[in-house]
Amino acid sequence: MVASTEVLDALKSIGLNLYERKIFVALLAKGVATAAEVSEIASVPRSRSYDVLESLAEKGFVMIQPAKPIRYVVHKPSEGLERTKESLRRKHDHMVERIDKLLAGSLILQELESIYKQGLSLVEPTEMTGTLKGRHIINRQLNSAFKDAKSKIAIMTSDRGLQELRDTHFRALKKASKNGVKIRIMAPLKNGAGEFASIADIRNIDEPLGRFAIIDDEQMLVALTDDKNVHETQDVALWASSPHAAGRFAKPLFEHAWTQAK
């Protein structure tokens, strides 16, 4: 029986490559087979079939039967999928645990940070800029910048941007505030300051000059599109790690608008 395109696509979506998909389906049709037999049925080079069958065994779809020649027994599909799910979960948990250990002030992290700082001192300012496309990517960069803030964050945004700030970044901003970071936010306050009043100095501005954020007068992120007229996948922003651009260009604009805000 030949598997449908939908079935093959579904197997691809869980990480099986082309040869793995072909051999797995062939073995399902055969039940038990040698590498030579299954490679012929699946039209996969025999030299590759051994590695593919080993991979399927590791993922839980196939059991190796010690014999001469070696035979391969396919598991019931639901059992194979459950084994694969458990294997992926274990790998994920193990990887998260290793990353957590690195983040917990390890000597390895210290060395990596030291290398980064040394390399950063050699980077030209023009190289520390970039265009970000897609609100998800923009928010990820913003969140990272908020977490790195040491002394101050200044934000001007739209009413829609304020809602997104609340939904996406409130936790990071709240933590920054607890760490002593001074936060100022300007936005149209149609529904009031809300929970931001507890973590930031917030002022109303009827019509923002744009959407931008300045972090420690060293980083800035400026939206290049209007969030009212563009889909979130087409939202574009400019990010720059530049004291000159953030402190001497963006900051005066913010301060001027701040004095005019209510």
Q: Does 148 share its domain with 37?
A: no
Considering the domain boundaries, does residue 137 fall inside one?
A: yes
Q: Does 64 share its domain with 173?
A: no
Q: Does 144 share its domain with 199?
A: yes
Q: What is the pLDDT of residues 118-175, one digit of tens each?
A: 655 554 544 457 888 888 898 988 888 998 899 999 999 988 888 888 899 999 999 9
Considering the domain boundaries, does residue 136 fall inside one?
A: yes
CA angle 83, 96, 149 (to 5 degrees): 150
Quick one: which of 253, 252, 223 has its CA closest to 158? 223
What's the CATH code of the domain at 56? 1.10.10.10
Give the separation between CA 136 and CA 188, rounded to whole angstroms: 23
Name 173's Cβ contacts closer than 8 Å, sequence gap at least 6: 146, 153, 165, 183, 196, 199, 200
Considering the domain boundaries, does residue 184 fall inside one?
A: yes
Contact 178, 120 (CB under 8 A): no
Q: Does 200 share its domain with 151?
A: yes
Q: Does 137 share its domain with 219?
A: yes
Number of domains, the chain? 2
pLDDT at 183 over 90: yes
Q: Which two tokens stand for residue 78?
A: 């639901």
Domain extent at residue 212: 126-260
Q: Does 38 share its domain with 140?
A: no
Q: Does 75 share its domain with 147?
A: no
pTM: 0.56
Q: Does 157 share its domain with 209?
A: yes
Where a domain ends, among 88, 105, 136?
88
Residue 82: C-alpha distances to residues 14, 58, 60, 104 (Å)? 12, 13, 8, 33
Residue 178: C-alpha distances to residues 139, 184, 201, 253 (Å)? 21, 14, 14, 27
What's the CATH code of the domain at 239? 3.30.870.10
* Poorest-pLDDT segment among 36-45, 103-112, 236-245: 103-112
